[in-house]
Amino acid sequence: MSITDIAGRPRYTPLRPGEEGERFFTRGQVALRWGCSEKGVQRAEKRLGLEPYRILRGIRYRLSDIVRIEAESLKKLPKRFTGLRPAQKAELLRREREEITNEAGVITTVSGGQG
């Protein structure tokens, strides 16, 4: 027999096999960890695939889901901002390449001359 609320929904989310030792965080704890509001965590449920578990009267999230989302977000970080326009950045990269090739040429001539 399942305990349901007025709308007929289960009052708790049954755990799957293997989830007995899982650690769960409340919305507030996840919001604090991510530096956002509880409403932001709620929006992340659909956007990021964060599965909510209804345990007693609260919503909780599995730590493994939280860690997975954090790892995925690290892969999607934007490139470091240099503050340069594309033409300026291309010129800077060209100069760096020239310096590296010049340094490599100086090292080979010096080492070749000592041999």
| Distance between start and end Cα atoms, the chain | 88
pLDDT for 8 equals 64
**Pair of tokens at residue 75:** 């892969």
Q: Indicate if 66 and 89 belong to the same structural domain.
A: no
Q: Indicate if 2 and 31 belong to the same structural domain.
A: yes
pLDDT tens-digit profile of 7-43?
Answer: 666 555 655 666 566 788 999 999 999 898 999 898 8
Q: Indicate if 72 and 99 belong to the same structural domain.
A: no
pLDDT tens-digit profile of 58-101?
Answer: 889 988 889 888 888 877 766 666 677 888 888 888 988 888 78
How far is residue 87's CA from residue 1's CA, in Å, rounded to a whole number? 69
- pLDDT band for 110, please (50, 70, 90 cuts): very low
- Of 54, 55, 26, 53, nearest to 41 by C-alpha is 26
Q: Indicate if 87 and 104 belong to the same structural domain.
A: yes
The tally of domains found in the chain comes to 2
